[in-house]
Amino acid sequence: MATSEVKVLGSWPSPYAMRPRIALNLKSVDYEYIDEKLWEGKSQLLLQSNPVHKKIPVLIHGDRKPICESLIIVQYIDEAWSSGPSILPSDPYDRAVARFWAAYLDDKWFPAVKSVGVAKGEEAKKAAIAQVEEGLALMEEALGGCSKGKGFFGGDEIGYLDIAFGSFLGWLRVTERFNDMKQLDEGKTPGLVEWADRFSSHAAVKDVMPDTDKLAEFGKMVIAKIRAAGAAAEMH
C-alpha cells in the first residue's frame, strides 16, 4: 500500500499516538506519520479530522473518514488489514478480558502515573505511587492469565493489551527517574520486567518508543507549566 494511503496524526511524547503506529508496524502497513506540535497549536488537518475531541491520534485511511481514539484505531487496523497477524484475541472471552484491562489502564492506572508528578505534598504523592504499584500487581497477575505462559499478553506475539500497556512504559520510566525508585521491580513484578524488555525491543516497537532522556525533559516542562498554572490560580 502506498504511503500516502495511510496517515497517522500523532505527537511524539504521546503514549496514545504510539498505539496505531505499533499496530500498523505489526501488520506491515506503510504509513505516513505526521507529528503534531501540540504545544505550538493544533493543525487545520487535526481540527478537521477530529472536530469532536480535537485530539491525537487520528488515522486517515485513503478517502475514508478519519478514525479517532487510540484503542478504537487499533481495533480498526486489526479488522481493516485482516491478512496480517491478529491483534485482538480470537476467543470472545479473551477479547473481552483484553478490552477490560485496556480500559482499566486508560481510566485508572495511567491517570495515577501522571498524578505522581504533579501531586501536592508527600501524602498525595504516596497515595498516587501506591495506586500505581497496586495496578502493576494487578497487571502482573493479568499477564499470567492472558499470556498462557508465553512472552506477551497476546501470547506468542504482541497483541491488543500489549499495545495498550506497553505504550505507557516510556512515561513509567520517567516517573521512576523523577522519584528515584523502581516501580517495575524484579522482586514484585518479575513477569512484567521481562515483558517490558521484550516489548520495547520488538521490531514493531523499538523505533516508535520515545527516548527516556528526551521524554524526561519534556515531562519537566509539562510539570513546570502545570505547577505555574496552579500557582497562578491560587493568586486569584
What span, in angstroms and rounded, lies between the C-alpha atoms of 41 and 122? Answer: 34
pTM of the full predicted structure? 0.93
> Is 96 in the same domain as 172?
yes
What span, in angstroms and rounded, lies between the C-alpha atoms of 157 and 42? Answer: 35
> Is 11 in the same domain as 118?
no
Query: Cell for 174?
Result: 520517567
pLDDT computed for residue 228 by the predictor: 77
- 3-state SS of 8-64 is EEECCCCHHHHHHHHHHHHCCCCCEEEECCHHHCCCHHHHHHCCCCCCCCEEEECCC
Per-residue pLDDT of the chain (236 residues; tens, 9 = 90+): 344 699 999 999 999 999 999 999 999 999 999 999 888 889 999 999 999 999 999 999 998 889 999 999 999 999 999 988 999 999 999 999 999 999 999 999 999 999 998 888 899 999 999 999 999 999 999 999 999 999 999 999 999 999 999 999 999 999 999 999 999 999 999 999 999 999 999 999 999 999 999 999 999 998 888 777 766 555 55
pLDDT computed for residue 4 by the predictor: 62
CATH of the domain at 30: 3.40.30.10
Backbone phi and psi for residue 143, each to the nearest 5 degrees, phi listed first:
-60, -45
pLDDT computed for residue 140 by the predictor: 98
> Is 146 in the same domain as 99?
yes
CATH of the domain at 114: 1.20.1050.10
> Is 104 in the same domain as 53?
no
As for how many domains the chain has, the answer is 2
Residue 85 lies in a domain: no
Strand order in 32-35's β-sheet? Answer: 32-35, 6-10, 58-61, 67-68
Query: Cell for 124?
Result: 498525595
Distance of CA 30 to the CA centre of its chain: 21
Domain finish residue from 13, 48, 80: 80
Range of the domain at 148: 92-213
